[in-house]
């Protein structure tokens, strides 16, 4: 396949800088950024924005503290004024405490000076800034999938109707417009890709999703896969609409057969039932579905019930394509790692029983022997699901322990995840003395 040349948006940094300066001029009359604030012994270095707040980033040469401005219900203030925003400091460095008095004064001044009109004038560029993917690597948005010939991936944005702690993405990362997404699809086809994955965030939240599918099909992509939680497919007609636009198949996240556990993992109460309804709607529309279950510490309590649930509710449909089991990736919020990563010895026992039950019920299992799976010893390199072909490239996120040197399947294993080893050390592996193929 030839190399890909992406027509990325020109000069994103310049657009960001223009919007930051426009907000700063509106709120504090800053002529440039960064700008000195002699009255407070700080510099206004930059501005950041979310849908619900605007942050003034303050410091010397490096950020020390953010002064966060959030709208409030208008209320009377001194001198007959009306207060419409509230200011609060957010420390970014231990030295922020030194500026507590200055920040309180700055906050009071801004609360007094920002009128309804001024806040609304600042929200326009702030909303545009919040939508931009500031600081997000472009490869997160579009890429040729490494190691898979002819397969491309485009993420349409990172908004989601769930908030899984296991997710490696930040929900506040911005997105590009639909024209840019269409341009990337064209670029990837020109580079030789013929299989396209559309992902997110949750891609069904993008109102132009049908346009992406139609354009990809017009170009000649033979396979169009959607990575989704299927929640919105519970809405009547959406599955048929996207099928008609060119959707080939779906890869659906379903992390537990227990509703309460699933909703806890996704941190989105009530979405388990909608996901299951969405899966059934997709298959009812003739769209093949493969499930992806991430093996979390929390989910292990109920994972053994997943094969029977799938068999009873989903697997009888001709469009059901099997179950993928995978390890958690490093979450965006690294503090959640101890709550997410399953204990290795417990995982080994559960996996063996889940695999056996899947085969007993005729459910195809995949994923465990790939770069998203655990070490092969976690499931005894079961030859029913492990190809045991040599790994051609080691991954930076994986590591081999000293005990791995004597393992019979070491050449075919990606190793243990570094985050797992940091938590559990040598418990992550139990080397196999003999090749399970005999």
Show which of 86, 113, 131 is a domain's final residue.
131
Quick one: angle between helices 178-190 and 209-219, nearest 10? 20
Taking only the tens place, the pLDDT of each residue in 236-285 is: 999 999 999 999 999 999 999 999 999 999 999 999 999 999 999 999 99
Q: What mean pLDDT do residues 216-240 have?
A: 98
DSSP labels, 219-241: HT-SEEEEEE--GGGGSTTHHHH
| Three-class DSSP category at 63 | strand
pLDDT tens digit sequence for 131-187: 888 778 899 999 999 878 899 999 999 999 999 999 999 887 888 999 999 999 999
What Rg value do the Cα atoms of the chain yield, rounded? 25
Residues 61 and 91 in one domain: yes
Cα separation, 293 vs 360, whole angstroms: 19
Residue 374 lies inside a defined structural domain of this protein: no
User: Residue 1: pLDDT band by 50, 70, 90 thresholds?
Assistant: low
Is 429 a member of any domain?
no
Res 373 pLDDT > 60: yes
Q: What are phi and psi of 251, to 5 degrees?
A: -115, 105
| pLDDT at residue 2 in the model | 61
What is d(CA 216, CA 356) in angstroms, rounded to the nearest whole number? 39
Do residue 257 and residue 210 come from a single domain?
yes
Burial of 269 (0-12, 13-18, 19+ CB in 10 A): exposed
State yes or no: pLDDT of 335 exceeds 90: no
* Closest to 84 in 3D by CA, of 122, 54, 127, 114: 114
Together in a domain, 317 and 360: yes
Tally the domains of the chain.
Answer: 2
Of 366, 399, 418, which closes a domain? 366
158 and 275 in a single domain? The answer is: yes
215 shares a domain with 75: no
Please report which confidence band the pLDDT of residue 130 belongs to, taking 50, 70 and 90 as the band edges.
confident
**pLDDT at site 11:** 81
One domain for residues 64 and 204:
no
Q: What is the reported pTM?
A: 0.82
Nearest to 424 by CA among 340, 343, 339: 343
Residue the block writes with tokens 């001709």: 318
Q: Classify residue 377: in a domain, yes or no.
A: no
pLDDT at position 290 is 98
Q: What average pLDDT is seen over the chain?
A: 94
Which residues are CB-contacts of 89 (< 8 A; sequence separation ≥ 6)?
65, 66, 67, 68, 96, 100, 103, 107
Pairing of strands 223-228, 195-199: parallel
Residue pair 377/407 in contact by the 8 Å Cβ criterion: yes
Q: Does the residue 381 lie in any domain?
A: no
Query: Which residues 6+ apart lie within 8 Å of 428 measured at CB?
Result: 344, 375, 401, 416, 417, 420, 421
**CA–CA separation, 358 and 350 (whole Å):** 12
Q: Once rounded to an integer, what is the mean pLDDT over residues 335-360?
A: 95
The whole-number pLDDT of residue 395 equals 84
Distance of CA 373 to CAs 109, 260, 365, Å? 54, 25, 12
Whether the CA torsion 169, 171, 172, 173 is positive or negative: it is positive
For residues 143 and 19, state if they share a domain. no
Q: Does the residue 435 lie in any domain?
A: no
Residues 89 and 151 in one domain: no
Based on the domain organization, do 243 and 228 belong to the same domain?
Answer: yes
| Cβ density class 189-221: b for 16+ within 10 Å, e for less | bebebbbbbbbbbbbbbbeebbbbbbbbbebeb
Q: Could you read off the pLDDT of 409-438 as tens digits, one per residue?
A: 999 999 999 999 999 999 999 999 999 987
**Tens digit of each residue's pLDDT (9 = 90 or more) over 51-85:** 889 999 999 988 999 999 999 999 988 878 899 99
DSSP β-ladder status, 54-59 and 42-49: antiparallel
Write the pLDDT tens digit of every residue in 4-20. Answer: 999 998 888 888 999 99
One domain for residues 108 and 218: no
- CA 438 from centroid of its chain's CA atoms: 40
Residue 120 pLDDT: 95
Rounded Cα–Cα distance for residues 146 and 195 (Å): 13
Q: Are residues 86 and 28 in the same domain?
A: yes
Question: What DSSP string runs through 146-214?
Answer: TTSTTEEEEE-----S---TT-SS-TT-----HHHHHHHHHHHHHTT--EEEEESS-GGG-TTHHHHHH
Whether 425 maps to a domain, the answer reads: no
**Does a structural domain hold residue 52?**
yes
User: Domain limits at 22?
Assistant: 12-131
Backbone angles phi, psi at 188, to 5 degrees: -70, -35
- Tens digit of pLDDT for each residue in 82-109? 999 999 999 988 889 999 999 999 999 9
CATH number at residue 225: 3.20.20.70
Axis-axis angle for helices 344-361, 306-313 (nearest 10): 30
Task: Give the domain-ending residue among 345, 366, 387.
Answer: 366
* Co-location of 153 and 119 in the same domain: no
Is the pLDDT higher at 370 or at 171?
Answer: 370
Residue at 272 is within a domain: yes
For residue 238, give the nearest of 290, 182, 286, 285 by alpha carbon: 285
290 Ramachandran zone, left/alpha/beta (phi>0; psi -120 to 50):
beta
Q: Identify the pLDDT of residue 397.
A: 87
- Beta pairing, strands 35-37 & 42-49: antiparallel
| Distance in angstroms (rounded) separating the CA atoms of residues 417 and 132 | 32
φ/ψ of residue 364, rounded to 5: -70, 135
Percent of all residues in the chain with a pLDDT value above 90, rounded to a whole number:
84
**Distance, CA of 389 to CA of 253 (rounded, Å):** 27
SS3 (DSSP) at 437: coil
If one compares 124 and 175, the residue with the highest pLDDT of the two is 124
* 3-state SS assignment for residue 31: coil
pLDDT exceeds 70 at position 286: yes
């Amino acid at each position: 396949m030839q190399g890909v040349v992406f027509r990325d948006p020109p000069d994103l940094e310049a657009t960001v800088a223009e919007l930051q300066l426009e907000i700063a001029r509106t709120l504090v009359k800053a002529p440039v950024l960064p700008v000195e604030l002699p009255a407070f012994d700080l510099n206004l270095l930059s501005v950041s924005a979310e849908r619900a707040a605007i942050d003034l980033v303050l410091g010397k040469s490096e950020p020390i503290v953010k002064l966060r401005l959030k709208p409030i219900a208008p209320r009377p203030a001194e001198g007959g004024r009306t207060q419409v925003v509230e200011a609060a400091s957010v420390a970014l460095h231990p030295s922020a405490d030194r500026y507590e008095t200055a920040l309180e004064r700055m906050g009071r001044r801004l609360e007094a000076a920002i009128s309804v009109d001024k806040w609304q004038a600042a929200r326009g560029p702030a909303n545009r800034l919040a939508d931009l993917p500031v600081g997000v690597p472009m490869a997160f948005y579009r890429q040729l999938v490494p190691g898979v010939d002819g397969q491309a991936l485009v993420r349409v944005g990172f908004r989601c109707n769930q908030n899984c702690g296991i997710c490696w993405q930040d929900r506040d990362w911005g997105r590009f417009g639909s024209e840019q997404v269409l341009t990337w699809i064209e670029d990837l086809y020109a580079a030789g890709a013929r299989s396209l994955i559309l992902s997110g965030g949750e891609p069904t939240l993008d109102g132009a999703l049908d346009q992406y599918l139609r354009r990809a099909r017009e170009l000649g992509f033979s396979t169009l896969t959607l990575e989704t939680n299927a929640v919105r497919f519970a809405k009547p007609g959406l599955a048929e609409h996207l099928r008609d636009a060119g959707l080939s198949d779906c890869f659906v996240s379903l992390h537990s057969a227990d509703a309460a556990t699933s909703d806890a993992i996704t941190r989105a109460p009530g979405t388990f039932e909608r996901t299951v309804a969405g899966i059934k709607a997709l298959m009812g529309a003739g769209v093949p579905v493969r499930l992806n279950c991430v093996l979390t510490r929390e989910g292990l309590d109920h994972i053994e019930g997943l094969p029977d649930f799938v068999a009873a509710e989903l697997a009888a449909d001709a469009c059901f394509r099997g179950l993928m089991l995978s390890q958690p990736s490093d979450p965006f919020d690294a503090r959640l790692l101890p709550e997410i990563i399953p204990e290795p010895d417990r995982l080994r026992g559960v996996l063996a029983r889940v695999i056996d039950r899947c085969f007993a019920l005729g459910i195809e299992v995949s994923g465990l022997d790939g770069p998203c799976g655990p070490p092969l010893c976690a499931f005894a390199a079961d030859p029913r699901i492990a190809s045991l072909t040599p790994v051609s490239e080691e991954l930076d996120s994986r590591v081999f322990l000293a005990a791995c040197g004597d393992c019979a399947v070491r050449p075919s294993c990606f190793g243990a995840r570094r985050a797992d080893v940091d938590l559990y050390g040598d418990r992550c592996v139990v080397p196999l003395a003999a090749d399970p193929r005999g």
